Amino acid sequence: MRALLLVLMCVLPVPALALSCLAPSVERSFAQFDAAEETYVVVHGRLTLDEKKLPKNLGLDRKPPRLTILPGRLRGSSLTKAGFVLPFDQELSLEVSCIGPWCGSARNGEDALAFVRKDADGYALAISPCGGAVFGNPKPEMLKQVRTCLRTGTCTAD
């Protein structure tokens, strides 16, 4: 009887674990980072990093580190009321976080819209599994919306 119970436990489906996140939007991100105590810069540019140093989304039997910090660079333009016109070319710390087996990720050389934190000793970009601080390959509408957010001072998500 115990053997049958063990076999049944092994073959019956188990509920899948999933990470539940609110879908990121540039409007929500702008409002969040605009209200933050820290200083943030909105940058559109090319993100470079060593993808091999990113934490891997591991199976449920292994836990990746909660935070991995690695160097990166962001080259492009930062947002002003006139648009993305102020040159930005900075090294930054990529703060890649994991929640359980799910980790944030980014791609080397990807066009990005990023909300970059300005610290006393440089710049940092938080990359979480739920997103929100960096948008890969942003659509023109996203860039237009974040410009509107800065110009009008109001930004609401749909």
User: Looking at the predicted structure, is the pLDDT value of residue 146 above 50?
Assistant: yes
Q: Where are the domains of the chain?
A: 23-152
Q: What is the pLDDT of residues 46-60, one digit of tens each?
A: 999 999 999 987 655
Q: What is the mean pLDDT of the chain?
A: 87
pLDDT level of residue 124 (50, 70, 90 thresholds): very high
- Flag whether the pTM goes above 0.95: no
User: Looking at the predicted structure, is the pLDDT value of residue 34 above 90?
Assistant: yes
Higher pLDDT, 49 or 16: 49
Cα–Cα dist 40/124, whole Å: 9
23-152 classified as CATH 2.60.40? no
Higher pLDDT, 75 or 16: 75
Cα–Cα dist 41/123, whole Å: 9
Considering the chain, what percentage of its residues have pLDDT values greater than 90? 72
Phi-psi region of 42 (alpha: psi -120 to 50; beta: other; left: phi over 0): beta
CB-CB neighbours of 27 under 10 Å:
18
Q: Which of 154, 157, 78 is nearest to 117 (CA)?
A: 78
pLDDT of residue 101: 86
Counting DSSP H helices and E strands in the chain, the numbers are 3, 7
DSSP 94-144: EEEEEETTEE----TTEEEEEEEEEETTEEEEEE-TT--SEEES--HHHHH
User: Looking at the predicted structure, is the pLDDT value of residue 35 above 90?
Assistant: yes
Find the mean pLDDT for residues 34-46: 97
Cα–Cα dist 44/129, whole Å: 20
List the single range of 48-57, 81-90, 104-113 with lowest mean pLDDT: 48-57
List the single range of 6-10, 79-83, 131-135 with lowest mean pLDDT: 6-10
User: Looking at the predicted structure, is the pLDDT value of residue 13 above 80?
Assistant: no
